[in-house]
């Protein structure tokens, strides 16, 4: 079987039998296309792909990506060849007896400074007050504030935020249903008063549109808000607030997780909030900032009482 045909079969299996999300399928497609491009595997029959070809591919990409990304790309290939072996398309996966060690050193997640976060939210609300409540720009600014507040209130991924439908956000019972990675659903309570208030205002302003929309967050053309649009929103209000940090949507997720942990929230509750399938993924947040450690040692060190 030629490589391109094998990719189609694999993705069809992932979609129909594993029910993987479109985002995951797209990531698999990109990883396999990259392997095909670098190794010219397109010209191969899949049963002729061997360990050496995989080694040469990893040699090329090793310096291009962080360990986490390398591990993901490797996992995609392993899953692909395991599928081919199970389907008897190849007799044995080329990963059999192939030992690849990737640097597993953990990079601490980047968080947003509390002062920067405060400034961004402050200036977003100040920006809203500049406009007439009946104007289009007031409505769009209200949406922008909702995006910022919800990212920080819940720690959801930007892809999860953009895929929220109007029926999945319940402002009567203050809860949000999220379809996470691997189509795993989780329910997040909406408790923070300021975020609830702005969400209710947004829902009121967009009520006539949301009634027939499949997406809760809409762009100026009333189409679903994209990941890139969310990044532009964050960049816009960072600039207005005079914040020079390069802040990404995922940093909101890192920030709320770290802050909750430092405030004594049990790591398993944080795991559920973030939708991590494994506690080991959440444990990266068990690092505590030096300033927090210093404060704890100053106030709590037992030497004071000895």
Positions marked catalytic: 157, 181, 250, 253, 276, 285
Tokens of 159: 């892809």
**Do residues 228 and 234 lie in contact, with contact meaning Cβ atoms separated by under 8 Å?**
no
CA atoms within 13 A of residue 130's CA, in its CB half-sphere: 8
Nearest-5° Cα angle at 126, 124 to 130: 115
Q: Which residues contact 221 (CB under 8 A, 6 or more apart)?
A: none
Instruction: State the Cα–Cα distance between residues 138 and 264, nearest whole angstrom.
Output: 38
């Amino acid at each position: 079987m030629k490589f391109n045909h094998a990719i189609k079969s694999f993705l069809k299996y992932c979609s129909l039998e594993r029910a993987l999300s479109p985002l995951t399928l797209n990531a698999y497609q990109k990883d396999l296309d990259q392997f095909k491009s670098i190794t010219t595997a397109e010209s191969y029959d899949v049963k002729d792909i061997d360990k050496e070809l995989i080694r040469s591919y990893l040699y090329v990409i090793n310096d291009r990506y962080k360990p986490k990304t390398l591990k993901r790309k490797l996992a995609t290939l392993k899953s692909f060849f395991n599928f081919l072996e199970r389907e008897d398309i190849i007799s044995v996966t080329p990963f059999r007896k192939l030992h690849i060690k990737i640097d597993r050193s953990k990079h601490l997640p980047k968080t947003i400074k509390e002062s920067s976060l405060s400034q961004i939210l402050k200036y977003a609300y100040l920006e809203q007050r500049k406009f007439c409540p009946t104007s289009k720009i007031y409505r769009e600014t209200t949406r922008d504030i909702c995006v910022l507040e919800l990212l920080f209130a819940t720690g959801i991924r930007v892809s999860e935020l953009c895929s929220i439908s109007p029926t999945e956000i319940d402002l009567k019972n203050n809860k949000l249903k999220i379809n996470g990675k691997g189509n795993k659903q989780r329910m997040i309570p909406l408790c923070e008063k300021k975020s609830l208030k702005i969400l209710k205002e947004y829902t009121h302003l967009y009520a006539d549109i949301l009634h027939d929309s499949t997406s809760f967050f809409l762009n100026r053309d009333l189409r679903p808000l994209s990941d890139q649009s969310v990044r532009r929103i964050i960049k816009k209000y960072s600039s207005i607030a005079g914040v020079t940090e390069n802040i990404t949507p995922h940093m909101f997720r890192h920030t709320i997780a770290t802050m909750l942990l430092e405030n004594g929230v049990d790591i398993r509750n944080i795991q559920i909030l973030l939708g991590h399938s494994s506690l080991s993924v959440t444990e990266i947040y068990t690092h505590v900032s030096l300033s927090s450690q210093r404060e704890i040692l100053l106030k709590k060190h037992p030497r004071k009482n000895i």
